[in-house]
A and B are shown apart, each in its own frame.
Chain A
Amino acid sequence: MAAQFEIQQEVAHGYLGSTEQNPLPPSSLFHRLVYVLRHSWMLRITLPISVAALFLAAFGPTISPISLVSATSAVDVPPSLNHLFGTDPSGLDVFWRVLAAPRIDVTIAIASTLLSVVIGSMIGLVTSFFRGPAAEFVMRTSDLVQAFPLFVLAIIFVVMTGRSYANIILIISLLNIPIYLRLIRSEVLSLRTRTFVEAAYANGDHGLSIAFRHVLPNAIAPALAQAPVTLGYSILVIAGLSFIGAGVQPPTPEWGSMIATGANGIIIGQWWPSVFPGVVLSITVFSFAAMGEALQTAVFRR
């Protein structure tokens, strides 16, 4: 009890930088989550930003009062009251396009993250609960995937398969699967020898049911805590692919391609078409990553 209390104090005052004290150490995962949510100033900042990004993914393009894709004559206008973030070389308003971009970036990131969590967890669960040559093969394959830089691999796959949204989602999720495979595997390998698994066998339960109903619920928390981090990183990969022209194409509003569009102008002082999407992209990715970190604090420090 004392040790747990110290850990909670550490959560509150160390890494998360809280100033408040809570004398009651929370016990269950849910309570730890609430505790961390309430005591972390990092989350107070990043959670609203993440929620805003999700909101814009849903409504970003529809709240824009002007057309996001039709070129105008007002090219390269610096930031002003009319155009808060200025306009780009095609005369498109940067502000509204920055707000519309999550529709593509965040949606693709969410889809690919969900896919990788689900597939990675399933494969991780089955291959580590029932071990064998096939499981070893899966693990070595995932080693192979992880041996390459993720972004380089993403470029290669996109070039090979074509740059449709579906392909980008599949490729990013494929590249993230090994992370979840490992996270689940490390949990399952220790859970499968636990007494309650043995007891479930002794009560006549069958392997698959034990794996999904007894082991998976106990193993899933770290993977769920990792998901926001992957979400942020996936946004970065999509933007990166679009920046080098392998992802989403202009004039579709998308942060990476917007940065690329404005990149030529930076040298002659037209910084706004690149810098604003870049800054917003950075803040978004950071927010998701920080949120994931805070979740992991809640999950792992027990």
Chain B
Amino acid sequence: MIPLLVQGLSIEYRASQTVNKAVNAVSFSVDSGEVVGLVGESGSGKSTAILGVLGLTRRGGYITGGDVLIEGRSTTHLREEEWRQVRGARIGLITQNPRASLNPVMRVGPQIMKVYQAHNKADNSEARARALSLLRAVGINDPERRFFAFPHELSGGMAQRAVIAMALSCSPRVLIADEPTSGLDVTIRAQVLDDLRRVVSSSGSSLLLVTQDLGIVANYCDRVYMMHVGEIVEEAGVDAFFNTPAHPATAALMAAHLKELRPRLALRGFPIDGRRLPSGCWLHPRCPFAEAADGCFERHPPPYEVEPGHWSRCHRYREVIAVGQDQLQPGEQDRGFSSDAPDLLPSHHVEN
């Protein structure tokens, strides 16, 4: 049974005059025990998509299509009460900014207790014991004292651990982490992520890791989905993702880290506006590979299978791979990715 299967999820934001298609027929899956990365530039619809997985939208947002199967059960026709029993209990969400996702006037421990008690018939002492053991499990030292701390009394890393503890409180099968470390000190990131991976694997859950940090992807993920303008443009195992990037958006993300790649692979101009999608491939106005002869300007690319388990929505994925291979000369790779998180990226991911 696949813990999380998303099929063709579409979400749009409606304003009085415009419609912004933030998520367009996105499909992905998270297998049990897997750590899956969801990568994409800011505004590519990652956060909207994962809220949509939980049946939630922000103000003005509407889910216009698709289905989310949680542990094999369709959620299309769930009523609001049924959804509430899914959220938090079957799927946990770790939100982006830990300090902001805790209620500022409520002590941390009771907040965790409340989530646990919302889904389990537990008296206060049982819930308290659960919250304390969770705080200990996510690596908070002196949990008895932190239990009574207000969120503003916690450091960023502590707050993130508390949020992780809250998401884990009902042992969900799938945990979604929305840029869990973006607000943290670089030195704390690895610790928090290691603890996150440890508690996820020890509880037998799967993890969907939303991030922009390639170092994190390389070190923690088994598979990666690349998102661009609300669309999954590339799916690959983590080795293929780094060694043979097959979509210009992915290649450009690599180029952002590798100086040598930049002249050939960097995207031009500004992010595509979801309210005015271009014809053909949605990346073509920015794409250094776009060719009229290949239909980049007219035909929207279907997912091409590059190799088993590796898909790319690019008419010219062969050229992209070729240029990437060409530029990735041996000896040049070790330098890459280091600007951001030097200790996170093992060199073997880019070597062969």
Contact = CB atoms under 8 A, between A and B. Distances in A.
Interface of A: 27-28, 193-196, 198-206, 213-214, 217-218
B215 to A, nearest CB: 25
- The residue among A196, A201, A204, A217 with the most chain B CB atoms within 10 A of its own CB is A204
A202 B105 contact: no
B338 to A, nearest CB: 31
A198 B96 CA distance: 11
A190 B100 CA distance: 13
Contacts of B87: 201-204
A218 B104 contact: yes
Contact of A206 (B84, B106, B115): B84
Given A28-B150, A199-B163, A204-B119, 7 more contacts: A27-B152, A193-B59, A198-B51, A199-B101, A199-B102, A203-B92, A205-B84
A200 B56 CA distance: 11
Given A195-B95, A206-B84, A217-B106, A201 B100 contact: no
Given A203-B118, A204-B84, A198 B152 contact: no
Contacts of B59: 193
A195 B96 contact: yes
Interface residues of B, number: 35
Contacts of A196: 100-104
Contacts, number: 74
Contacts of A27: 152
A202 B103 contact: no
A40 B81 CA distance: 51
12 contacts: A196-B100, A196-B102, A196-B104, A199-B95, A202-B51, A203-B87, A204-B119, A205-B84, A206-B80, A213-B106, A217-B103, A218-B105
A204 B101 contact: no
B93 interface: yes
Contacts of B92: 203
Nearest to A207: B80
Contact of B88 (A198, A202, A217): A202
A281 to B, nearest CB: 37
A28 B153 CA distance: 10
